Amino acid sequence: MPRTATPLAAAGTGVLFEPLALGHLTLRNRLVMAPMGTCLDAGGHITDETIAYYVRRARGGVGTITVEGCLVSADTVGPEPKISGPEYLPGLRRLVDALRPYDVTVGVQLMHPGRQVVAGPSVAPSPVPLNSKAPVPHVLDQAEIAAIVEDYARAAELAAEAGFAFVEVHGAHGYLPSNFLSPLDNQRDDEYGGDLEGRARFSREVARAIVAVGGDRVPLVWRINGDDATPGGLGVEDAVAVSRSLEADGVAAFSVSAGTWHTLHVTLAPMHVPRGHLVSLAAAVKAAVDVPVMAVGRLDDPELAARVVASGQADLICLGRGLIAEPDWPDKVREGRLGEVRPCIACNACVDLVGRGEHARCAVNPEAGRELSWVLKPTPFPRRVMVVGSGPAGMEAARIARLRGHQVSIWERDEVLGGKLEVAGLAPSKREVLRFRDFQARRLVELGVEPHLGVDVDAGVVATEAPDVVLVATGAEPLIPPIPGLGAAHVHDALALLRGDVAVGPGDRVVVVGGSATGCETAEVVRAAGAEVTIVELRGGIGFGIEAITRRQLLKTLRADGVVTLTRAKVVAVERDHVLYEDAARDVHVIEADHVALALGWRPRGSALADTLDDAAEVVVLGDASAPADFVHAINAGADAGLAL
Which residues are known catalytic residues? Answer: 175
Cα distance between residue 113 and residue 119, in whole Å: 11
Closest CA to 33 of 281, 275, 424, 299: 299
Give yes or no for a contact between 430 and 407, defined as CB atoms under 8 angstroms apart: no
The phi, psi pair for 181, rounded to 5°, reads -75, -25
Helix (H, G, I), strand (E, B) or coil at 386: strand
Cα distance between residue 4 and residue 387, in whole Å: 38
Cα distance between residue 580 and residue 576, in whole Å: 11
Those residues with Cβ within 8 angstroms of residue 325's Cβ, 6 or more apart along the chain or in another chain: 300, 342, 343, 344, 345, 362, 364, 365, 368
Kindly report the three-state secondary structure assignment for every residue of 175-186. Answer: CHHHHHHCCCCC
Cα distance between residue 304 and residue 293, in whole Å: 16
Cα distance between residue 264 and residue 262, in whole Å: 6
Closest CA to 151 of 169, 137, 174, 172: 169
- Can you name the residues that pair with 170 across neighbouring β-strands? 223
- Can you name the residues that pair with 571 across neighbouring β-strands? 581
Compute CA distances 620 → 141, 417, 463, 623, 634, whole Å.
62, 20, 16, 10, 14
The beta-strand segments (E) located in 43-104 are 64-71
Which amino acid is it at 455? V
Which amino acid is it at 329? W
